[in-house]
Structure 1
């Protein structure tokens, strides 16, 4: 067995969203909670269609904030502040993420990110988190038209990395997505950051510091 590429989910594996800071940003701008706003955002995206390109994403946000302005009778200043909102400023890398990607590249592996993200700006979020320089290819579900655990999503990232699925080792924090990768022919491992330790033999790790141990076990 020869692994040539390591593929990671973004949210919960490489990065997390600084929710408290985002809530503080929205608090003076909207009369609803960040959770209620997120529900309105989801409903808007499902009705309109989530953006499939960065240009479409700009139009998406402009239309959504205009809808919020009218729905909640926002002031011009509140509306302008929402139009300037950049979610990537609240994306944070886990402490072990950059090193895991960098060391994988140094060891000769190609690196990819496969996310069920509903926005097109996955690359921008990786740049904001300081991870983009160590990523060879990144796929967001809304852009490629397939989401995990659909086989097409895994096939697409493998093709972008110029490897076959059986040459990939995939890491995700959702069991269904790990199972999807395995069904697509990849080796896969669950990342559960709630755990205090890892069970490499069972395919579960609590930290990306354990990635080399997973590779070593597969090679053995």
Structure 2
């Protein structure tokens, strides 16, 4: 096992509490439309988010269109009128977006963890499949941006997780070989399988915050194991 010299992170569900932020925003947004946010309604919301975000990530539709499709998928079956025009539906989505942005939050342990890793001499990187402008805005709002040596968004580098080329870019920008990088994320395929296929060590965390062991302790165990390896 190669000694860990850098740690890469996913953002949403790993350092940034997307689920809590989006859930709070969806409850507010749907309530403004007269819809009671039941468990099934919220599951439909998140299912549409996953489906159409992946369509954008694969290049099938534009970023704006994946937002429109999310509203069409969820609101029409609930009997809520969805505007036909792009401008009007974009205006409707902006109401959700304002609620989402006002709910943005990092996990409480995120910034102290990054600061601790930096203090111990590790390079710190981010690799996210999100859109450049929005992901950077999240990092600024939560105070995380200043903690990273490298920020790689799929939109900027041209590759998305789990493509091994995305992880290769991260390692290159961090100035380490892939084997000297530990990648931490909440998706078993995009984050963990992708990182391992690229030659990195990987750690899976709970994306909805139900963490039996703090991320820092888990990362520390991996780093300690790599330091003791010969």
Q: Does the pair score TM above 0.5?
A: yes
Query: Between Structure 1 and Structure 2, which shows a larger proportion of strand residues?
Result: 1
Question: How far 1:83 sits from its partner (Å)?
Answer: 9.2
Aligned counterparts of 1:88 and 1:154: Cα–Cα separation in 2: 28
Aligned counterparts of 1:49 and 1:80: Cα–Cα separation in 2: 15
Q: Where do 1:43-62 residues align within 5 Å?
A: 45=56, 48-50=61-63, 60=64
- Number of residue equivalences: 200
Which residue of 2 is the match for residue 39 of structure 1?
48
Distance 1:144 1:25, change over 3 A: farther
Which residue of 1 is the match for residue 77 of structure 2?
none
Question: Is 1:2 the counterpart of 2:8 in the alignment?
Answer: no
Which residue of 2 is the match for residue 208 of structure 1?
216
- Residue-by-residue CA offset, 1:69-121 (whole Å, 9 max, x unaligned): 7339x98xx75963973744332111211111011111111101112225642
Question: Is 1:185 the counterpart of 2:199 in the alignment?
Answer: yes
Question: How far 1:22 sits from its partner (Å)?
Answer: 0.4
Aligned counterparts of 1:36 and 1:136: Cα–Cα separation in 2: 34
Question: How far 1:47 sits from its partner (Å)?
Answer: 5.1
Aligned counterparts of 1:127 and 1:166: Cα–Cα separation in 2: 30
The normalised TM-score by structure 1 is 0.72
**Runs of 5+ unmatched residues, structure 1:** 51-59, 198-205
> SS of 2:83's equivalent?
helix
Question: Is 1:125 the counterpart of 2:138 in the alignment?
Answer: yes
**Runs of 5+ unmatched residues, structure 2:** 36-40, 73-81
Q: Aligned-pair RMSD on alpha carbons?
A: 3.6
Distance 1:161 1:96, change over 3 A: same
Bigger RCO of structures 1 and 2 (CA < 8 A, at least 6 apart): 2
